[in-house]
Amino acid sequence: MLVAVGNGSSYGGGMRVCPDARLDDGLLDITVLGPISKPEFLRVFPTVYKGTHVDHPAVTVRRARSVVLRSAGVTAYADGERVAALPVRCDAVPSALHVFA
């Protein structure tokens, strides 16, 4: 099982892992890829760039203000960097970032 948590729709390289995520809605999008064979994964993977992978029956998307991820022996990554061993709690914090232009 693969789990991605995002408050924005795209990851590096233009992959739209959480295609309907919005930076300003105060929610996290949680995209879960359930059991799938390697050939099926390879067939479906290119659709991540369009964000249409979420239509595959092995993919589930949920929204929440907070999520806790737990799994023995798994490391969490953020923006391609190791963050911490699980468990990890992710919270959406509305209005936490102020941008001046």
CA pair distance 24, 69, nearest whole angstrom: 23
For the chain, what are the domain ranges?
2-91
Residues 15-55: tens digit of each pLDDT: 999 999 998 899 999 999 999 999 999 999 999 999 999 99
Write the class of the CATH domain 2-91. mainly beta
pLDDT at 97: 81
pLDDT at 68: 97
pLDDT at 66: 97
pTM: 0.89
Q: Which residues contact 34 (CB under 8 A, 6 or more apart)?
A: 1, 58, 59, 60
* Residue 77 backbone phi and psi in degrees, to 5: -120, 145
Cβ proximity of 30 and 4 under 8 Å = yes
